[in-house]
Structures are given as structure tokens and as C-alpha cells.
A and B are shown apart, each in its own frame.
Chain A
Amino acid sequence: MIGRVPNWIVWVVGIIACIWVIPIIGIVVTSVRPPADVTLGWWRLDNIRFTLDAWMRVWDEYPLANAFWTTLWITLIGTGATMLLTPAAAYAFHFLKFPFRRTILVIIINAFVLPVQVVVIPLFQLWRDTGLIDNILAVLIPYVGLSFAWSIFLVKNFMEDFPKELIEAGKIDGCGPLATFWFVVLPNSLSAIFAVGILQFLWCWNSLLLPMLYLRTTIPLPVLLTRVSGTYDLNWDLRSVAAIVTTIVPLFVFLIFQRQFAAGSQTRTGAKE
């Protein structure tokens, strides 16, 4: 039948998916078995016992709940700021005329080639001098700033297809640049903005380097995860729990928003295509 996927593709994809899931199963199993039983591998079946001991202990021994809230807070602010500022910047670069537009855009997009590691030390000096060490701004500013390179690029590319007539109709209807952005461009760029939002969410949530260097007391989950695994004892069970807690939110975000993620451009002017 035309358009029907051949069976072997389904099988190959299925097998690859299973292989991908194995580590997750491993983590979950490790978290609920006593460490002594899994030293030779979580798949060993010679001594099957289950315990929630690790799940209880990790909350007591490490500030997991605090770290969870810190991560959530930082990620939400970082993502929200990017989702609002990126389309505004892309709109300005694409539809408005101002001096040095091209140059500024090239500079911003060029930040793409700059790895985070390169800016770590200068930023550290800057935060130290401005007293922002251990302030969440120390990570939020680079989170949002560094995201502009790829996010503006992505949203601006999306706007290449944005119908110019809608902007003009907005102008005729009495919108200034800000009103046009808010009432016309933003509601019709949601798919691109959500794509940026999801990527930024995952990036913020999983970010390790910057918070490890700039934060001391309020630390997010990935940093805590390194502390959990940084001790000398065999605590694979605790690490597993911390890893599950760390990954569970991005997993749900992806499951919930995957539709938005895949959605194409919804922008139609109303003309027959």
C-alpha cells in the first residue's frame, strides 16, 4: 500500500528504542535493589530483593528537595526569559529597520561558535567583582544570553516564512512595532517559540558547569548529582534515585510538549494555498 511503512523499519526502530530504554530500566532497578545485590550488575537475578531504602535515605542525606526547587526555579525563569526575548529580537532583526542591524545580528549568531567553557573564567571574574557569585543571576544571565545565538537564529529562520502582509495589515490596523509583535507576530510564532522553549528548558535543567562554578548554597540537581556520586562509598542506589529525580521532569516536559515540538508553522494568511 502506498504510504505504508515496511515492516522491517518498524522492527529496526523498535529494537533501537529498546536499546535506548535499557539504561533507564537499569537506573530504576538499581534504585530499588539493595546495593549489595547489584554490585555485579543490576540485571543479576541470583538474589532478588526490593527495597525503597535508597529513596528514603537520599532525601535525608542530601538536600534533594531544595535542589529540585532551585532547578525548577532557575529553569523556568531562564526558559521564560528566552521564550519572550528571543521572538522579540528575531522580530526586530527581521521586520524592523535600525542602524547596524546586520552587524549586530552577525555578532549574536557568531556566539554560536563560542563554547561555554571559553566564557567560564571571564564570567567568573565578572561575577566575583560584581558580587553575583552564589546568586542565581550568575547562571541565569549566561543561560539566556548564550541561548540567543541559536534561538534567534531558529526563530528568525521561522519568520522568513512569516507573511509580510500580516505585519502590514497590523500596521494598517493601527499597530506600532510593539503591538504588532505582541498581537500579530507572537501568537503566530508559537510553534517556533515552543521549540526554542523546550530546548532551552532541557539545556537549563541539565546544565552542570555554570551552576557548579558560580553557585554555592543554592545548587540545582545536576550539581547535587555530582556531590552524591562524589563520595567514596558504593552508593549506586542513591545515585540512581538522584538521577531519576533529575531526569523525570525533562522527560515529562518532552512527553507533554512533543506535539508542539513537532508542529509545523501554523501561520496562514487566509489565502488559499
Chain B
Amino acid sequence: MATVTLNNVSKSYGTLEVIDNLNLQVEDGTFTVFVGPSGCGKSTLLRMIAGLEPITKGDLVIDGRRVNEADPIERGVAMVFQNYALYPHMTVEQNIGFSLRMAGLEKSDIDARVAIAAQTLQIEPLLKRKPAQLSGGQRQRVAIGRAIVRDPEVFLFDEPLSNLDAELRVSMRVEIAKLHNKLGSTMIYVTHDQTEAMTLADKIVVMRDGKIEQSGSPDDLYDNPDNLFVAGFIGSPRMNFLRADLTATGPRLVAGPTLSMAGLPSQGEVLVGVRPEHFLLGGGDASVAVKVDVVENLGGTRYLYGATISGENVVVEVRDRPGIKAGDTVHVGIDPVRSMIFRATGERLRQGH
């Protein structure tokens, strides 16, 4: 177990800056998820922590020790790759025990530790098989087994569930969460899937263009995003953004009503962010007409996909079964307390500032 600290870390390939002066503290024993669109530098950052990419500038400190130049093994990190990277010519047992063999452990010690890892992941019957004889989910377990057998300070996961089908992805997600509870190790997990981030993380780090947009607990980021990007990225379906102009009493939506909100600047164009579940169906002070194009029925909840009269696409979550069909026009209320105001440049405007 260990804390991982990044101090002013930068990474560039020639003149191309991939990670720009980044500071981050990953606390001991937490599950931290780096999330962001592809190309945001999250995998590069993970690989820098792993020791697979050299760090151009800044310090990487693991467990109080600066490890910029250290080999992966000296850093005490273990990594699970997106495509598993199991050695095809070795059996599962040899795959899991390989790092121990490289560390020069006795055969009996290796066997014992492989057995414990296999038991943890319930892959004992597979130990004599080759990776080619395993299913995707089994391969992923073996890849995780290869990481846990070393008892590392820090676990690194690079999009480990991307190659699995949807159902398996959900069950492996739960298993990884259980594993974290059981081992209590520091885990850093990279994904582009915000659902994985929300469900697994103690702390989410949202990245874009090599910078951290915001970091915090999943609830923090969901309830209180710092900017338009984080607001749009976290949450599924994503937050709705309605165009509005600021007035002295509050933002007046292009789609019609004015939200009464105090403590905001009195002019400028803004976007009002409302999460799909925060619309009040058929009520509220400020209500907007939405023409429904598609109703997506998930059983317990329904999502109404539609557009306002001013042309903004809107998703509304509906809990009960109001019998709304495609083509209907519904009036949804916007609660000023649960709305967030963003400048067109992306920064959030908070009341009273």
C-alpha cells in the first residue's frame, strides 16, 4: 500500500505536450479512476506511473520515494492491460507466477502464492490451461491474478474491461470493486467509460487535453461539477444544456421562462445545465415545452428524447408510467436549485460570486 504523488509532472513527445504540469495526490488504499475522452492523456499518465513511459518533467513519488527513473519492479506497481497481455506460450499458472520467477523465488513459494491468487479469483481449474483456451472474462481474471500475486504497492488498470461484452463488464466491475475492498490496496484505474468511473471510484480524476479538469468523489463531481466539460462528461444520459441570457432576476431561457436565481451577473450568454432526473414533469415555476421524439423504456425508468421549441436536444427521465408517446409535447419544470449555470467558455457561475 502506498500513496502516489505527482508533482508538476509533464510529458511531451518532441514539441507535442501530452501531459501539462499536472499535480495529483492518490491517497493510500483508495480507488482512483482517471476518466476522460480518448487522447486526453489518461493512459499516458498511467503508463508514466507504471514506468513504461519516461517522465519529461516533474516528480513521481510513490510511498515517499521519488521513482522517476526506477524500473517498474522497483516502483512496486503491477499493471493489468486492456488486452490482457498474457504470455501465449505459458500456462495460466506460469503466467501468474512469472514475475515471482523473475524475482528469483523458490518454486514452492511461487506455487503457494499462485494458489492463493488463483483461489482469490476462482480460477483454480484453469491453472494448467494456455491463454488461448480461455474466454475473455477468464483471461481478464488471469491478468488480474498476475497483478495480485506480487502483492504490489499500487495496482494499475488500463481500461481492463474494454474488451469484454456488456454483461461480463458489469460483473467484472463488481469483482474489481470486491477485490479492492478485500485487498485494500491503492488502485489506479483508467477508463473512458464514466459509468465505470462512477461505480468503482473513491475518487474520480476527469482529464482533458493532458490537464485535470476536476477531481473528487463521484458524488462531488456529479452534484457539483466545476465546469461544462465535467458536467457533460459525468452522468449518463448526459446533462441537458439549455441556452439562456442572464437578466437581473436570473437566467432567461431562450426556450421561454426565466429562472429566478439571485447572485448571478446580470448579463451575458450562459448555458443552464439540468440533469435528466431533475426535470419536474408537468410542473415547476419555470416550465419548458419539449416535443418528444423517442421514448426509451428501460422498465423502471423511461427516457424521453426530444427537443425544446428553441431546438435544444433534451433528455428527460421519467420514473412512473405517464403514458407519454413519441410525438407528444410535454411540459417540464426546471428547479432553479438543481440547475447549474455555465458560461459559454465552460466555466461555472455560482450564485453569490
Report the Cα distance A166→B139, complex, angstroms.
Answer: 14
In the complex where A172-B78, A173-B98 touch, is A272 in contact with B85 (Cβ < 8 A)? no
Contact among B51, B85, B98, B142 for A183, CB-based, below 8 A: B98
Question: Does A53 have its Cβ within 8 Å of any Cβ on chain B?
Answer: no
Cross-chain contact B77 with A172 (CB below 8 angstroms): yes
Residues of A within 8 A of B82 (CB): 165, 271
Interface string of B92-130 (1 = CB under 8 A from A): 000000110011000000000000000000000000000
Cross-chain contact A171 with B83 (CB below 8 angstroms): no
Cross-chain contact B139 with A271 (CB below 8 angstroms): yes
Residues of A within 8 A of B50 (CB): 172
Cross-chain contact A172 with B72 (CB below 8 angstroms): yes
Contact among B85, B102, B136, B142 for A165, CB-based, below 8 A: B85
Report the Cα distance A163→B146, complex, angstroms.
Answer: 18
- Of B72, B85, B86, B88, the most chain A CB neighbours within 10 A belong to B85
Closest to B143 in A: A270
Least CB distance from B159 to A in Å reads 12
Cross-chain contact B87 with A166 (CB below 8 angstroms): yes
Contact among A168, A187, A269 for B86, CB-based, below 8 A: A269
Q: Which B64-100 residues have C-beta < 8 A from chain A?
A: 71-73, 77-79, 81-89, 98-99
Cross-chain contact B103 with A172 (CB below 8 angstroms): no
Residues of B within 8 A of A52 (CB): none
Question: Does B52 have its Cβ within 8 Å of any Cβ on chain A?
Answer: yes
Residues of A within 8 A of B251 (CB): none
Least CB distance from A253 to B in Å reads 24
Least CB distance from B186 to A in Å reads 16
Report the Cα distance A175→B88, complex, angstroms.
Answer: 17
Least CB distance from B333 to A in Å reads 47
Cross-chain contact B81 with A168 (CB below 8 angstroms): yes
Question: Does B134 have its Cβ within 8 Å of any Cβ on chain A?
Answer: yes
Question: Does B210 have its Cβ within 8 Å of any Cβ on chain A?
Answer: no
Least CB distance from B84 to A in Å reads 4
Instruction: Give 14 pairs: A residue, B residue, CB < 8 Å, sorted on A.
Output: A168-B52, A172-B52, A173-B99, A173-B102, A173-B146, A188-B88, A266-B89, A268-B88, A268-B132, A269-B83, A270-B85, A270-B131, A271-B136, A272-B136
Q: Which residues of A contact B (CB under 8 A)?
A: 163, 165-166, 168-169, 171-175, 179, 183-184, 187-188, 266-272
Q: Which residues of B contact A (CB under 8 A)?
A: 50-52, 71-73, 77-79, 81-89, 98-99, 102-103, 131-132, 134, 136, 139, 142-143, 146, 163
Nearest 6 CB-CB pairs, A to B? A271-B83, A270-B86, A165-B85, A270-B131, A173-B99, A174-B73
